[in-house]
Amino acid sequence: MTTSPVERAPISSAADINLSDWDFWGRPMGEREHAFRLLRELDMPAFFAEPEVSFAPPGVGYHALVRHADILEASRNPDVFCSGAGGATNIVDMPAEFIEYFGSMISMDDPRHARLRRIVSRAFTPKMIKQFEADVETAAGQIVDDLIATGSGCDFVTEVAARLPLKIICDMMGIPESDYRFVFDRSNVILGASDPEYVSDPAAIATSLLTAGMELQQLVQDLAAHRLGTPTDDLISALVNANIDGEQLTAQELGSFFILLVVAGNETTRNAISHGLRLLTDNLDQKARWLEDVDGRAAGAVEEIVRLAAPVNYMRRKVTRDHVMNGNLYRTGEKVVMYYWSANRDERVFAEPDRFDIGRSPNPHVGFGGPGPHFCLGAHLARREITVMFRELLRRVPQIEAGPPERLFSSFINGIKHMDCTF
């Protein structure tokens, strides 16, 4: 699917860029940075035809929102820029058979979205939050014990970064350890289907996605059946037994919410942690600064990691009525794709945007989404996981360094699949 760098024409102007061309996403990161810089300089957002995918016909096309101001404005205005009508996590409209598995609150609008989010938010009780904070400490400690036991290093992504969010989200859901691998493999397929390591045949992408969705839904149905009526103290119990002002999740809502949570909980924080180690390895001055005051500088460092990592590259919205935003017209039925990765490097907002500065303040990045109803539900948990992981690493293996990253081939997730670490 990718071509070697020598075969690619250089990008010298915005006219050379096509964000719907799969080949674009295989280019080296420096070229990606250059391309988005060119797009940010345009007076109006570039408009692209939709990417070709095997499972759905292309729609009308999309405006690429690459500036911070446009993403803030679109996120704040969900009446005009809606998340339903085909889904927020893909550019091409989601086919009907996908909705059952992948049509949760992230791809809904109010009032349905608000209702789901209300039920779910109330299941995140203070007791549950306190419990998972304690679990994060224990799990991170264990993972770093295992890292140290290797004696010299390992694949940082699979052995360190991926393990913490996987364990925490599975514990929250009440998924037993014997099923961790099952969940991990399916969530890799769901967010990494464009990468041949996870789905080798591009023609099999749709079937692989549906199978992974179906298998995860089966898992939650089995778990839910045990907990209905005899609740334990995990999130699935809270969700199946939740009856807030007469509101309850249907089996289908529970299934797709579960898939959203395990996928969002796994694939994002893992990448933030992996990018974090890479950034610290490339910027030893910032690592030394963090080491001087590990706890005191953690909050700023974590935000800066999420800013530059931008693990979720974009979300999309559909335009519900003709609307002028920041001087540009958006027509009913068109789509906008909000490139968080680009907004987090917008030179109008961030001084020296490519510089990793753990003391950057203010740092109004949109890594967890823009302000609005869909702002990341797991931001608090993710920040906690990244903080605790680096606290353990910096205290116990301060000499740790990352090798070259093996990137995920994806336009949606800014992922690292494998990356050696040594200490």
Residue numbers of the site for ligand HEM (CB under 6 A)?
Answer: 83, 88, 105-106, 117, 169, 260-261, 264-265, 268-269, 272, 306, 311-312, 315, 340, 367-369, 374, 376-378, 381-382
Minimal CB distance residue for ligand HEM: 378
| Helix, strand or coil, per DSSP, at residue 328 | strand
Output 45 or 378, the one with its CB closest to ligand HEM: 378
Contact 47, 63 (CB under 8 A): yes
Q: Which of 144-151's residues contact partners 24+ apart within 8 Å by CB, and which partners?
A: 144/392, 144/393, 144/396, 144/397, 147/397, 147/421, 147/423, 148/396, 148/397
Q: How far is the CB of 355 from ligand HEM (least distance, A)?
A: 20
Output 139 or 169, the one with its CB closest to ligand HEM: 169
Query: Residue 183: left (phi > 0), alpha (psi -120 to 50), or beta?
Result: alpha
CA gap 356, 365 in Å, rounded: 13
CA gap 104, 199 in Å, rounded: 23
Residue 130 in tokens? 């306190």
Output 58 or 372, the one with its CB closest to ligand HEM: 372
Q: How far is the CB of 259 from ligand HEM (least distance, A)?
A: 10
Output 199 or 338, the one with its CB closest to ligand HEM: 338
Q: How far is the CB of 369 from ligand HEM (least distance, A)?
A: 3
Output 308 or 394, the one with its CB closest to ligand HEM: 308
Q: How far is the CB of 266 from ligand HEM (least distance, A)?
A: 8
Output 51 or 369, the one with its CB closest to ligand HEM: 369
Q: How far is the CB of 339 from ligand HEM (least distance, A)?
A: 11
Output 20 or 269, the one with its CB closest to ligand HEM: 269
Q: How far is the CB of 288 from ligand HEM (least distance, A)?
A: 24
Task: Write the DSSP assignment of 266-312 as a string of letters.
Answer: HHTHHHHHHHHHHHHHH-HHHHHHHHHTTTTTHHHHHHHHHHHH-SB
Contact 401, 279 (CB under 8 A): no
Task: Read off the amino acid at residue 409.
Answer: F
Q: How far is the CB of 12 from ligand HEM (least distance, A)?
A: 31
Q: How far is the CB of 354 from ligand HEM (least distance, A)?
A: 19
Nearest CA-CA partner of 234 in 170, 166, 164, 163: 170
DSSP assignment, residue 247?
A: B
Residue 168 in tokens? 């925490």
| Helix and strand totals (H; E) in the chain | 16, 12
Cis peptide before 362 (omega within 30 of 0): yes
Output 188 or 268, the one with its CB closest to ligand HEM: 268
Q: Angle formed by the axes of helices 180-192 and 163-173, to 10°?
A: 110
Q: How far is the CB of 23 from ligand HEM (least distance, A)?
A: 25
Task: Read off the amino acid at residue 44.
Answer: M
Output 32 or 374, the one with its CB closest to ligand HEM: 374
Per DSSP bridges, beta strands 62-65 and 335-339 are: parallel
Output 38 or 419, the one with its CB closest to ligand HEM: 419
Q: How far is the CB of 376 from ligand HEM (least distance, A)?
A: 3
